[in-house]
Structure 1
Amino acid sequence: MSLPAHPEHRHPFLYRSIVLPVLALLRMGASPQKLAWSIALGLVVGVNPLLGSTTLLCLGLALLFRLNLPASQLANHLMYPVEVVLLFPFLKFGAFVFQTGPIPLAPKVLFAEVRSHPWTLIKSVWLWEWHALAMWAIAGAILLPLIAAILTPVLRRMLVRAEAHHAALATPISTF
């Protein structure tokens, strides 16, 4: 005879880590629209190509626009692996659009540049970074409202389902 599953282990990890916290925020009174904008902000800021800046940037923007801090930070931190993956495409696309020349990504070339022209390399890296940030800002300006528009009806449906489920649990079962 097997024991019943512990309540925390009934759902997959991602459900427990993402869906349940969002449902908890909805139940605490966060509107679906404000929560959608909070999550969208976290998702967009979370892929910004300036590594190490996302937490503070997301926090500042969420405070500025009076969004839900836990939701924006949850989405922001979930995007870290995507941020790392998108770093080089943002750098390359920025270099392409602004015609700043190729980025020396090969270790031999990079170390040769460090040894022979360190100050020039530092200036170039900052230039590539600013161009990558410009590409991210343009993409973010387009994606942020799009993501929020997609998430708002999804979160509304989640709230309705959660309220219906809660009401069903609260209704006493009649016995014959």
Structure 2
Amino acid sequence: MNAPVQHESLWHRWVVKPVVAQLKQGTTPSKIAQAIAFGVAAGVFPLLGTTTVLGLALGVWLKLNQPVLQVFLQLVYPVQLATILLFMRAGESLFGAEHVPLSIPMMMERFFADPMQFLADFGMIGLYGVVVWLLLAPLLIALVYFISRPFVEKLHKHIRFPHHDT
């Protein structure tokens, strides 16, 4: 008897399916969870336009699963937008720097108008944000890894592998 046709959710199509595909190709749940964790951490890096390259570099260096890493890196883009100014403000506080008026639209406008002047005006605050990210990233990676691993292991147990008895 055939089950009724169900429309798959975007979560299933864009997240679960790629993870299942990688598990079916032999990637371990632990390696998938590592890729998820580093993808999330790289995805919230506080410099716009740098996360894909950062994720690629981390993935190559650490031999992480690129498809999964990139999916989760892209998935957290709204979180990056929501936290970018928080990283920079925390950096100002950490370094005792003067408060610089910031907004994402203003910064993008200034960047595209004159990239070199943008770097002169905002380079240090960007660096402050990166330092805060560097301090928090290991905690974020560990947190996401330990949260995602049981879910990936559970998913792995429910996969039917061709030519296997498991």
**Please, which of 89, 98, 103 is the counterpart of residue 101 of structure 1?**
98
Q: Which residue of 2 aligns with 1:47?
A: 44
Deviation, structure 1 residue 86: 0.8
Gaps of 5+ in 1: 111-118, 171-176
Measured after TM superposition, the shift of residue 27 of structure 1 is 1.2
| 1:18 equivalenced with 2:11 (yes/no) | no
1:76 aligns with 2:52: no
Distance 2:119 2:87 in 1: 18
TM-score by length of 1: 0.77
For residues 42-78 of structure 1, the C-alpha deviation after alignment (integer angstroms, 9 at most, x for no partner) is: 0000000011111111101111111101111111111
- Where has structure 1 moved over 2 Å in runs of 4 or more? 119-124
How many residues align structurally? 151
Alignment of 1:152 onto 2:126: no
Which one of 91, 112, 137 corresponds to residue 88 of structure 2?
Answer: 91
Q: Is the 2:90–2:132 Cα contact (8 Å) retained in structure 1?
A: yes
1:127 aligned partner: 124
TM-score, length-scaled by structure 2 = 0.81
Go from structure 1 to structure 2 and tell me whether the alpha carbon gap of 1:28 and 1:123 turns closer, same or farther (over 3 Å shift).
same
Q: CA RMSD in A?
A: 2.5
Q: 2:140 aligns with which of 140, 143, 149?
A: 143
Alpha-carbon distance between aligned partners in 2 of 1:37 and 1:15, rounded to the nearest angstrom: 20
> For 2:51 and 2:117, how far apart are their aligned partners in 1?
27
Aligned-partner Cα distance in 2 for 1:140–1:23: 26
Q: Does 1:161 align with 2:158?
A: yes
Post-superposition CA distance 1:64-97 (Å, at most 9, x none): 1111011111111111111111111111111111
Query: Identity percentage over the alignment?
Result: 29
Larger mean CA deviation between 44-53 and 152-161 belongs to 152-161
Q: Deviations over 1:86-136 (max 9, x none)?
A: 111111111111111111137xxx9xxxxxxxx997445111110100111
